[in-house]
Amino acid sequence: MSDTDVPAAITAAHRSEWARVVAALARRFGDLDIAEEAAAEAWAAAVERWPADGVPPNPGAWLTTTATRKAIDRIRRENKRDGKHREALILYDDGAPEPTGPIDDERLRLIFTCCHPALAPQTRVALTLRLVGGLTVAEIARAFLVQESTMGQRITRAKAKIAQARIPYRVPSAEDLPARVAGVLAVLFLVYNEGYLATGPDTDPVRRDLTGEAIRLTRLIRALLPGDGEVAGLLALMLLTESRHAARVSATGELVTLDEQDRGSWDTGLIAEGHRLVRERLAARVAPGRYQILAAINAVHTSARDIRDTDWSQIVALYDQLVHVDPSPVVVLNRAIAVAELDGPDVALAAADRLDGALAGYHAYHATRADLLRRLGRGPEARAAYDRAIALAGNTAEIAYLSRRRDQLGR
């Protein structure tokens, strides 16, 4: 392997192995802080040693072993000799297996553990994105539309609360799963969204590792809770969104919007599976939740052979239903985008403008306004809105698309 391939191998290992290493250490040592810090030290060791020694045949095993030794060194150094750590050291020495409970996937078990009822819902999501998704604090802050410093403090307080309250790292019982599933689904939704439109200047615009992992874990939850409508809804939503991945970024690295995508390149297998899940939920005749409605909206989009065949009245009706379930500003903004196709951009712009206070720091809000203003022939205002959207956007493909649309306005 050449010297230039080693950093790529380290990055690939981080994406594929981070959550598994953290989960394995958390299970063994019962301490999330030790698990995260030891994992970080293991990757630092890889950065130092792999260029000279070469990438090991099994990077995941190397990282797990190194991280485990780092954790044990820290425990011995700090003289943390309480019962749980003594037990972890014994297990490390004799290799005795530990019970897995109803969940035998390390990463999924860690997600459920982080979604402890003692933590506030947003804190559960943020902590799990950090520990399981491997997202940076900056990436998580963008997902929550808050400042990076605010999110950093939130994650730090969550870890402190876990330590102070002595919340154990344990396998949730089968009875625990339904009560914790809402927080788990929120985490997986945000992990998928980060992969769908990845942020950061040095990040691929679409991170298939994150989208694929989110889908894999949601499938596992579906197997555990086959009767949960929102689990089925989230899986359908992910599958229908993922079906369009081949058409989403052009050869030049620019985002391709739904109206311009080559629908012939959509994955018909994923679409069929997603539609089947949506139909199953409709047949259940149970009031749908947020993910089920979003999946139904995507089912309408993926049913149209051409953008002109889209049933916008049905989409607006579904958004009306969604607003009752989730009246968030982002949902209202997305409804306005659909309304523009029925009632015109002027009506949609009036609705979007009412969201300025809530979404002033959200790039998609300004991108939406820019497009509506463009359609209304208000070029200077559209240019200013594009400028604001570009300044706030974190996805390279999206920035390229917005820049082109702005430049097409002329002077």
Tokens 């927080």 correspond to what residue?
183
**pLDDT exceeds 70 at position 104:** no
Which of 96, 115, 149 is the endpoint of a domain? 96
- The answer to whether residue 77 scores a pLDDT higher than 60 is yes
Claim to verify: residue 354 and residue 372 sit in the same structural domain: yes
Beta carbons of 176 and 112 less than 8 angstroms apart: yes
pLDDT of residue 120: 82
Residue type for position 350: A
10 with 81, same domain? yes
Inter-CA distances, 79 with 8, 31, 38, 70, Å: 37, 15, 16, 14
- Domain termination residue (choose one: 96, 115, 130): 96
Mean pLDDT value across residues 6-29: 84
Q: CATH number, domain at 393?
A: 1.25.40.10
Split at pLDDT 50, 70, 90, the class of 45 is very high
Name which of 22-31, 141-150, 168-177, 182-191 the model is least confident about: 168-177
Q: Could you tell me if residue 158 is inside a domain?
A: yes
Mean pLDDT (whole number) for 96-103: 44
Report the pLDDT value the prediction gives residue 82, as an integer from 0 to 100.
57
pLDDT band at 129 (very low <50, low <70, confident <90, very high): confident
Identify whether residues 31 and 81 lie together within a single domain: yes
* Residue range 249-274: mean pLDDT, rounded: 95
**Domain CATH code at residue 5:** 1.10.1740
Mean pLDDT for 385-389 is 97
Question: 169 near 103, Cβ under 8 Å?
Answer: no
Confidence of residue 315 (pLDDT cuts 50, 70, 90): very high
Are 263 and 305 within 8 A, CB to CB? yes
Are residues 89 and 4 part of one domain? yes
Do both 139 and 54 map to the same domain? no
Residue 336 lies in a domain: yes
Angle at which helices 229-242 and 208-224 cross, to 10°: 150
pLDDT at 80 over 70: no
219 occurs within a structural domain: no
pLDDT at residue 324 above 70?
A: yes
Task: List the CATH number of the domain containing 151.
Answer: 1.10.10
Residue 286, in any domain of the structure = no
Percent residues over pLDDT 90 in the chain: 49
| 377 falls within a domain | yes
Number of folded domains in the chain? 3
Residue 260 contacts by C-beta under 8 Å, 6 or more apart in sequence? none
User: Are 81 and 116 in the same domain?
Assistant: no
Give the confidence band of 172 by pLDDT, cuts at 50, 70, 90.
Answer: low
What pLDDT, on a 0 to 100 scale, did the predictor assign at position 19?
83
C-beta of residue 163 within 8 angstroms of C-beta of residue 198 = no
End-of-domain residue from the set 72, 96, 120: 96
pLDDT of residue 17: 85
Domain-located, residue 290: no
- Whose tokens are 């497009």? That residue is 371
174 exposure class (CB count in 10 Å sphere: 0-12, 13-18, 19+): exposed
CA atoms within 13 A on the CB side of 236: 29
In a domain, 146, yes or no: yes
pLDDT value at position 202? 57
Q: Are 28 and 81 members of one domain?
A: yes
Q: Is the predicted pLDDT of residue 71 greater than 50, yes or no?
A: yes
Calculate the dihedral angle through the C-alpha atoms of 159, 164, 168, 173, rounding to the nearest 10 degrees: -90
DSSP 78: T
Residues 82 and 115 in one domain: no
Is the same domain home to 144 and 192? yes
The residues near 393 (Cβ < 8 Å, ≥ 6 apart) are 363, 367, 399, 402
* pLDDT band at 208; cut points 50, 70, 90: confident
Q: In which domain, by residue range, is 371 found?
A: 331-411
> Same structural domain for residues 130 and 191?
yes
Query: What's the average model confidence in pLDDT over 81-91?
Result: 54
**Phi then psi for 359, rounded to 5 degrees?**
-120, 20
Q: What is the mean pLDDT of the chain?
A: 86
Predicted local distance difference test score (pLDDT) of residue 96 = 41
Please say if the pLDDT value at position 4 is more than 60: no
Which of the two residues, 207 and 273, has the higher pLDDT score? 273
Specify the pLDDT at position 304. 95
Stretch among 169-178, 233-242, 275-284 having the lowest mean pLDDT: 169-178
Residues 162 and 182 in one domain: yes
Cα distances from 286 to residues 75, 292, 293, 295, 301, in angstroms, run: 51, 11, 12, 15, 23
CA distances to 19, 131, 262, 297 from 334, rounded to whole Å, are 32, 30, 22, 11
Q: What's the pLDDT at 201? A: 61
Q: Is residue 80 part of a domain?
A: yes
63 and 146: one domain? Answer: no
**Which residues on neighbouring strands pair with residue 249, listed in sequence order?**
255
Task: Determine what percent of the chain falls in helix, strand and coil, rounding each to the nearest 5.
Answer: 75, 0, 25
Backbone phi and psi for residue 103, each to the nearest 5 degrees, phi listed first: -120, 120
